[in-house]
């Protein structure tokens, strides 16, 4: 299931029906109706039944706020754990660097809670920063 939708496709000065917004964001009309009913997406009822008209600007700001609320920013010494679905510190001594290509590296570490290998995709020019961020922290504890 897709969790992110490109809200930038929504035109602020254009009204949408449930079907047209669904088509634009590539979601089923039932999903749009569920957002209206349960998640607080505002709409204007034209008649008692159908069509439901959505204000483009309101839909866009609602969608943006919803996606911003889902973000889990990491602190400098944390990596995002996809199993815990939270930013986590890495286990002591688990930090290592894996070269990806001539310019990119992958910083690896293990989640302190579940032990999953966490990844931070970065550049070689940032190598000294990465070591300072993760390796020193893990060895000081
Ligand atoms: Zn974890």
Q: How far is 40 from 33, CA to CA, in rounded Å?
A: 10
Mean pLDDT score, 19-48: 84
Domains of the chain: 7-69 (1.10.10), 79-138 (no CATH)
Question: Residues 58, 63, 64, 70: is their CA dihedral positive or negative?
Answer: positive
- The position carrying tokens 């961020």 is 133
Q: Measure 117 CA to ligand 1 centroid, in angstroms.
A: 8
Q: Measure 44 CA to ligand 1 centroid, in angstroms.
A: 43
Q: Measure 5 CA to ligand 1 centroid, in angstroms.
A: 26
Q: Measure 89 CA to ligand 1 centroid, in angstroms.
A: 9
Q: How far is 25 from 20, CA to CA, in rounded Å?
A: 9
Mean pLDDT score, 56-82: 90
Q: How far is 19 from 9, CA to CA, in rounded Å?
A: 15
Q: Which tens digit of pLDDT belongs to each residue from 83-137? A: 999 999 998 888 999 998 889 999 999 999 999 999 999 999 988 888 888 876 5
Q: Can you read off the two tokens belonging to residue 31?
A: 């999903």
- The position carrying tokens 């602020």 is 12
Q: Measure 23 CA to ligand 1 centroid, in angstroms.
A: 36
**How many other β-carbons are positioned within 10 Å of the β-carbon of residue 54?**
25
Q: Which has more confidence, 19 or 49?
A: 19
pLDDT at 40 over 90: no
Q: Measure 17 CA to ligand 1 centroid, in angstroms.
A: 41
């Amino acid at each position: 299931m897709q969790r992110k939708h490109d809200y930038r496709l929504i035109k602020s000065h254009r009204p949408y029906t449930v079907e047209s917004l669904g088509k634009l964001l590539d979601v089923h009309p039932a999903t749009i109706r569920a957002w209206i009913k349960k998640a607080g997406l505002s709409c204007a009822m034209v008649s008692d039944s159908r069509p439901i008209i959505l204000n483009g600007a309101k839909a866009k700001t609602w969608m943006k706020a919803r996606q911003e609320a889902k973000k889990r920013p990491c602190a400098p010494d944390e990596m995002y754990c996809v199993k815990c679905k939270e930013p986590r510190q890495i286990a002591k001594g688990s930090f290592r660097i894996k070269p990806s290509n001539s310019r990119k590296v992958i910083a690896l570490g293990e989640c302190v809670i579940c032990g999953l290998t966490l990844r931070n995709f970065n550049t070689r020019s940032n190598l000294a920063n990465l070591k300072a961020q993760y390796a020193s922290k893990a060895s000081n504890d």
